[in-house]
Structure 1
Amino acid sequence: MRIILVLSKAPIYSETFLTSKIRGLEKNGHEVVLCVDTKSSEDKAYDRVYALKSTGYFHKLSLLQGLMELFIFRPGRAIRFLQFERKSGMSIGTALKNMTISSHILKRDAEILHFGFSTLAKNRENVAKAMGIPMGVSIRGYDTSIYPLKHKNSHKMIWEQMTRLHYLSDDLLKDAIYHGFNPEIAHQKITPALNPDLFRVRKQLIEKNTLQLITVARLNWKKGIMYAIKAAKMLMDSGIKFHYQIIGSGEDEARLKYITRIWCLHERITFRGKLSHNQTIEEIQKADIFIMPSVQEGFCNAVLEAQASGCLCVVSDAQGLAENVLHERTGWVVPRRNARAIHNKVLEINKMSISDKQVIVNNAKDRIERQYTLDIQDASWLEFFESMLKSTPLKNPDLIKEGF
């Protein structure tokens, strides 16, 4: 089976959900062709990567070249795409524009087209139909929780043309339904997963003089880091000895550092910036409590890794986090946008006995090993794509060839 996976750019090593998905399919004998919007240094890590545009001064020329190649080498497919666009109510100008941003996909052959994010399918809804193959779509938090707030009915055509939907958590599916997804369309939940070989050691908790807190996240508003910093201020005012590491980078870094300074937390909070995946895991394993105060969160790989590392987790109730962590069984879930709740929960955990904490750590570790392994994820993706082929036979098998 040959699958075209559409992404904005080739995933970096730390984007484990995407990289493990690609490697898992390839391990099971399937070909994955990456069609990306922009070239990047990560392209060389994958066997087949086709970019829409090059970087630098020649990106417009590369777009024009891609469109010309499509008409020369795939004239039938180009004409079908334009016909479907016109039937969808697009003007000739808009149809040509949509063809241009889809030319690197339309030139390829495959049995399945899959968009790694639903927003990437916007203005490309007719591509799979023109190719005569089924179309899969993955939704993440941004796709259905944020993008539709600015773009009303943005997913209407996507829902109409897709064959099967992938989602990370039940809350994301509810968001999709709210924004017009018909639940009678085939859909399947596939969560992130971990490589169990990286987390074999079972952590034994010990008493410490200084509580070690940690967060791993992009530094933007969605992650709610400000609420964790406010909670840290309350902990300091409560006389708790702690140190809080924040690993990650992003557009809010300067603002968060400024708040940390004016609240006199600069000796209690360290911004580590972006670390390698291995370095990040090492720091998580040394910490006592992992805090994820997100305002919006599809699921969160970092929280899975924290639980697998033996770190006690306090997370907000933002969407998939409440599925990721089972309240009072594998960690604690507190209301989002509530610094006081984070502060109170950390105080409560700090007063718990080592044996009670160890029960939570062991529960979380056991659940990860039962439900969130790469083998389970690989099997789920195989089921996802094989079901697409079974439910939607190719409409034009002559389009599928062995070459490119």
Structure 2
Amino acid sequence: MRIGIVLSETPSYSETFFTNKIKGLQKHGFKVILFVQRKTPEFNLCTVQLAPKVYKYNLLLMLMTGFTVFLKLVLNFKRSMEFIKLETNIGRPYKQILKNLYNNNHLLAANLDWVHFGFTTMALQSEHVAKSIGAKMAVSFRGFDLDVYPLKHPRCYKLMWSQVNQVHSISNYLLQKAYSIGMPKSIPYQIIKPAIPILGYLEKHDQSKVSVFRMVTVARLHWIKGLQDTLEALAILKSKRMAFKYSIIGSGEQYESLKYAISQLGIEDYVILEGQKTHEETMALVKDSDIYIQYSYSEGFCNAVLEAQGSGLLCITSDGGGLKENIIHGKTGWIVPKRQPKLLVEMILHVINLPDEEKNTIRGNAINHVKSNFDVKNQAEQFVKFYSEFVN
């Protein structure tokens, strides 16, 4: 079976949910092809097909690329005409149809059994591709797709709902969110939660006595991650004369505002913006910490919290989105109501002051939780069923 996965670019160091999926499908004999706009030189897991580029300011490159695209469209004339017909039937403006025909050229030339858009937003303006090439269409729900994008673009998925054959959600929270914004309950779905490789995440955390508690968060610097509230909680913690260090691993648009907040709150000596790290560097910093914090307003699920639990960290999260399906409160970590920094600092103090025996029990529970419920092998088998046992 040939699976085409559509992404904006080849998976980065942090997107282990995509690399794990590709490896799992390949082990089961599936042919996986990535369709992307950008490819990183180091990516070599599977075949990659690049979308045609748009050259606005280089006439020669624009003409050369345009000729190549035109040639492919001619060679796939029947598919191209089917795509145009489907686009025309919904009343899409002709200029937009031509643009969509150009941008989807690499997909229209592919021979696939499934076209799977790795993010729901990736399916926009490509809703008719799968039907045009005689393939089935799937989309995956991620946090941004359902929590953020529809806020600015209401009813953005109306056409997509009518074309998709099956959806994949990483949490029940996102599935219910999809229903709330218009997804018909007749659409087949499977909830396949993220998974992480067990080997390498099961080392016991260093339990030696430390005078400075180390806390860490792995997140892109975005408002939805609740980092401003986390910093406010840490300013309160500082006022209680607690010795701690807090690292934020990740990059993003909120870098300057977070730097400003750190300065205004007077916690420059306590907080480090680590920037973007490789996955290996990230896990080394995580394993060197005592407490993992993910105080987001919402998460689709959050792989980073899984990896923190699997590393034996004491995890504190918000109750935002799918995090309640990730952490078992009081058993593998703790859940705090979002947007309440005072409650967050109370929980941090509670965890710090727990007896060592209770901390060790939570660490052990967290490791076993990940090992039992979020194994890569099981996830791969679920995706095999997703594609192989589909009944429309």
TM-score after normalising by structure 2: 0.95
Secondary structure class of the residue paired with 2:135: coil
Question: In structure 2, which of residues 86, 89, 113 is the aligned counterpart of residue 87 of structure 1?
Answer: 89
Q: Deviations over 1:92-133 (max 9, x none)?
A: 322222212211100111111111111111111111111111
Shift in Å at residue 171 of structure 1? 1.0
Q: Aligned-pair distance for 1:41?
A: 2.1
Deviations 1:145-185 (A, max 9, x none): 11111112111111111111001111111110011111221
In the alignment, does 2:348 pair up with 1:349? no
Tell me if 1:142 matches 2:173: no
Report the residue type matching 1:17 in the other structure: F
Amino acid aligned to 2:19: T
Corresponding position of 1:154: 156
Write the mapping of 1:188-337 to structure 2, written as runs, cut at 5 A: 188-203=190-205, 205-337=207-339
Cα distance between partner residues in 2 of 1:63 and 1:4? 23
Q: TM-score, normalised by structure 1?
A: 0.92
How far does the alpha carbon of each residue in 1:342-376 deviate from its partner, in whole angstroms, 9 at most, with x for none?
Answer: 10100111111011111111111111000101101
Match of 1:174 in 2: 176
- Residue aligned with 2:389, SS: helix
Q: Tell me how far apart the structure 1 counterparts of residues 119 and 227 of structure 2 sit (CA, whole Å).
A: 25
CA distance in 1 between counterparts of 2:244 and 2:282 reads: 19
CA distance in 1, matches of 2:147, 2:123: 16
Q: What are the Cα deviations for residues 1-33 of structure 1, in whole angstroms up to 9, with x where unaligned?
A: 111111111112321001111111112111111
Find the counterpart in structure 2 of residue 371 from structure 1: 373
Q: How does 1:15-164 map to 2 (within 5 A)?
A: 15-36=15-36, 38-42=37-41, 44-54=43-53, 60-61=62-63, 64-65=66-67, 67-164=69-166
**How far did residue 46 of structure 1 move?**
3.8
SS in 2 for 1:174: helix
2:4/2:112 contact within 8 Å kept: yes
Taking the aligned partners of 1:60 and 1:351, their CA distance within structure 2 comes to 64
Aligned-residue offset at 1:252: 1.1
Would you say the 8 A contact 2:10–2:43 is kept in 1? no
Contact 2:52–2:102 (CA under 8 A) maintained in structure 1: no
Number of aligned residue pairs: 389
The equivalent of 1:8 in structure 2 is 8
Change (3 A) 1:9 1:62: farther
Q: Summarize the Cα distance change of 1:33–1:370 in structure 2 as closer, same or farther, 3 Å threshold.
A: same
Q: Is the contact between residue 43 and residue 49 of structure 1 (CA under 8 Å) also seen in structure 2?
A: no
Gaps of 5+ in 2: none
Output one character per residue of 1:50-98: Cα deviation in whole Å (capped at 9) or x when no partner: 1113487657446624540232210000011111111222233222222
Instruction: State which drifts further: 94-103 or 327-336.
Output: 94-103
Tell me, yes or no, if the aligned pair for 1:5 and 1:115 is still in contact at 8 Å. yes
CA contact (8 A) 2:52 2:105 kept: no
- 1:70 counterpart letter in structure 2: K
The residue identity in structure 1 corresponding to 2:358 is D
Deviations 1:313-349 (A, max 9, x none): 1101110111111111111111112211110100111
Corresponding position: 1:382 with 2:384: yes
Q: 2-side partners of 1:387 and 1:122: how far apart?
A: 26
Q: What SS does the aligned partner of 2:71 have?
A: helix
| Alignment-mate amino acid for residue 11 of structure 1 | P
SS in 1 for 2:320: coil
Query: Would you say the 8 A contact 1:70–1:78 is kept in 2?
Result: no
CA contact (8 A) 1:168 1:192 kept: yes
Structure 1's 63 and 162: CA in aligned 2 closer, same or farther, altered over 3 A?
A: farther
CA RMSD of aligned residues (A): 1.7
Identity %: 34
Q: Output the CA distance in 2 between the equivalents of 1:110 and 1:5.
A: 10
Cα 1:315–1:65 shift into 2, 3 Å? farther
